[in-house]
Structure 1
Amino acid sequence: MKERLFWILKNYGISDRIAKAFLEIPREGFLVKRYPSSYVYEDIVLVSYDDGEVYSTSSQPSLMAMFMEWAGLDEGMKVLEIGGGTGYNAAVMSRVVGKKGLVVTIEYFEKVCRIAQENMRRLGIENVVVVCGDGYYGVSDLAPYDVILATVGVDEVPEHWFRQLKDGGRVIVPINMKLSERQPAFLFVKKGNYLEGGYKLETRFIKAGGNLGNLLERNRKLLKDFPFRKAIQVPRLHVFVELVDLLTRRLTRVNGIFYYVGSEGVVEFLDDEMRIYGDAPEIESLLFQWEECGYRSFEHLVLHIGYNVLSHISCTI
């Protein structure tokens, strides 16, 4: 069965090093829920834990292998995984990075985290550290990381991750889109004060708990009143709102209406018009850049997510 999975991964263009790692780790050892052996090594999502309150899955192997491939995962690397579940993916990555490498995996739900810790102990996997906690904060004690890889849908790439990533390091992350409820995965590379990169493919992961899954609520608390300044007609406004979501991490929603929450102003997004209260230079700059790029959706743009600098976009060729 494992050999069949190996060839499935090879058909996706996965390198031998990563595909062979899936042969070395018993997937059934990470499943609290039992399945027929014929299911375990199919290229499908499996429920790994479900007690009626907490739910965890073992992700589709081909998708995880592609994440590892895009991350350039290799021997000796240090990896931070967000959303470790019962530990299967971290165990596979432990074989890819080898004895000189390290995988740090953080799981929000403590009862699932404890199962992952026991799985690593039982299988004698020594180059995986399982941390119980909110992945929003990363794991600073073991930073910096060559790769940060998220296996849950998150609302943003927080500054904690950015600071814990090496310059030139990569982030693979599915992001929860608040307007369309899509969950596209992105590949970013850290360059100076920015994460630069863009869209890879559509996914459907479990949404993260904790601060990684409550951005709208956190931003709602920052709303303040500012005087009305102007209204701007915007074509394909819904596309622009999704760019604002990705690039600024300042979106919230009140009574079904989305708002950008800035330190100097607020922007209200209506059907085809945005209304600016106070000053919102970040939004007006992004709007100009987006117009220059022909009003394209995020799938066809290069995103430059800034940390303590303004984000911007550039057009793909």
Structure 2
Amino acid sequence: MRERLFWILKDYGIDERIAKAFLEVPREEFLMKHYSLSHVYEDVVLVSYEDGEVFSTSSQPSLMAMFMEWVELGEGMKVLEIGGGTGYNAAVMSRIVGENGFVVTVEYFEKVCKIARENVRRLGIDSVAVVCGDGYYGVPDFAPYDVIFVTVGVDEIPEHWFRQLKDEGRVIVPINMKFSGRQPAFLFVKKGNHLEGNYKLETRFIEAGGNLGNLLERNKKLLKEFPFRKTIRVPRLQMFVELVDLLTRRLTRMNGTFYYAGPEGTVEFSGGEMRIYGDTPEIESLLSQWKSCDYRSFEHLTLHVGYNALSRISCTI
């Protein structure tokens, strides 16, 4: 039956070395629920574990294969996976990186994490380390990584990940958009003090637990009172709020209204305009850059997410 999935992936145009890795790993060994083998090797999302409290899935193989191609996963690479589930995806990636590579996979829910550890142990997979904990912090013990591979919806790309990624390293990540409820996936490359990247496609993953799923709440603590300065009318305000979310990681919400919580100022987004309190050079610079790109949505922009540096926007052709 595994051959069936192999040919499905080949029909999608997936590189043979990646499709072959799915052929070599028995998906049914990572499922705690029973399915017929014919269903296991269809190109579908499967529930891998549930007990009424904790829920885990095995992602759609073609999507995972595309993620692997986009990050250019190859022999000898070191990978940090966030959202390990019961271990299937990490096992597949271990076949691609080979004996000289290594996959570190982090799972937030301890019950699921222990299952993943047992699955990896039982199948004799030595090139995968399963870590139980909050993926927000990454795993510094094995850094630096060539690739960070995210299989849960996250609110941000934390600075911990940025520090643990090699220069020119790649991140594939589905990001929870707090304003629209969308979960687009982005491919980023580390360049100096920025992650530079672009939109790839829409996804729908389980949202991460821990700090990766509560950015709005954490940012409430950053809100301070500043003197009112001015109001700016903003075309397509929702799109700009989503850019602020992606680029600054400082978005929060109170009483249904979104705010940017900056170090020297606050911005309230409401009714098609921004009300600025204090100094917010980051936001005003981003607005100017966005205007120069004709107010395009993030699908048609290149994002430069700054770490100890200002984020910026550039126009794609």
Shorter-chain-normalised TM-score: which range?
over 0.9
- 1:208 maps to 208
- 1:44 maps to 44
Please give the TM-score of this superposition, normalised by the length of structure 1: 1.00
Structure 1 segment 247-262 matched on structure 2, within 5 A = 247-262=247-262
- 1:299 maps to 299
- 1:27 maps to 27
C-alpha displacement at 1:8, in angstroms?
1.0
- 2:138 maps to 138
Report Cα offsets for 1:163-189 as digits up to 9, x if no partner. Answer: 000000000000000000000000000
| Cα distance in structure 2, aligned partners of 1:13 and 1:75 | 20
| Cα distance in structure 2, aligned partners of 1:33 and 1:269 | 45
Is 1:309 equivalent to 2:297 in the alignment? Answer: no
Instruction: Write the letter of the residue equivalent to 1:57.
Output: T
Report Cα offsets for 1:4-24 as digits up to 9, x if no partner. Answer: 111111122211110000011
| Cα distance in structure 2, aligned partners of 1:244 and 1:196 | 15
- 1:233 maps to 233
| Cα distance in structure 2, aligned partners of 1:166 and 1:177 | 26
| Cα distance in structure 1, aligned partners of 2:259 and 2:10 | 45
Report Cα offsets for 1:233-252 as digits up to 9, x if no partner. Answer: 01100000000000000000
Superposition RMSD in Å: 0.5
Name structure 2 gaps, 5 residues minimum.
none
Is 1:182 equivalent to 2:202 in the alignment? Answer: no
| Cα distance in structure 1, aligned partners of 2:161 and 2:29 | 30
C-alpha displacement at 1:38, in angstroms?
1.2
Instruction: Write the letter of the residue equivalent to 1:255.
Output: N
Is 1:73 equivalent to 2:57 in the alignment? Answer: no
C-alpha displacement at 1:104, in angstroms?
0.2
- 2:101 maps to 101
Report Cα offsets for 1:3-49 as digits up to 9, x if no partner. Answer: 11111111222111100000110000000011111110000000000
Structure 1 segment 108-187 matched on structure 2, within 5 A = 108-187=108-187
SS in 2 for 1:230: strand
Please give the TM-score of this superposition, normalised by the length of structure 2: 1.00
- 2:222 maps to 222
Instruction: Write the letter of the residue equivalent to 1:298.
Output: F
| Cα distance in structure 1, aligned partners of 2:123 and 2:228 | 62
Report Cα offsets for 1:210-263 as digits up to 9, x if no partner. Answer: 000000000011111111000000110000000000000000000100000000
| Cα distance in structure 1, aligned partners of 2:14 and 2:262 | 43
| Cα distance in structure 2, aligned partners of 1:185 and 1:238 | 18
Instruction: Write the letter of the residue equivalent to 1:192.
Output: G
- 1:18 maps to 18
- 1:6 maps to 6
Instruction: Give percent identity, aligned residues only.
Output: 80
Instruction: Write the letter of the residue equivalent to 2:276.
Output: I
- 2:82 maps to 82
C-alpha displacement at 1:140, in angstroms?
0.2
Name structure 1 gaps, 5 residues minimum.
none
Runs of 4+ in 1 over 6 A off after TM superposition: none
C-alpha displacement at 1:2, in angstroms?
1.1
- 1:284 maps to 284
| Cα distance in structure 2, aligned partners of 1:178 and 1:13 | 33
Instruction: Write the letter of the residue equivalent to 1:274.
Output: M
SS in 2 for 1:72: coil
- 1:265 maps to 265
| Cα distance in structure 2, aligned partners of 1:181 and 1:146 | 30
Q: How many residues align?
A: 317
| Cα distance in structure 1, aligned partners of 2:270 and 2:249 | 19
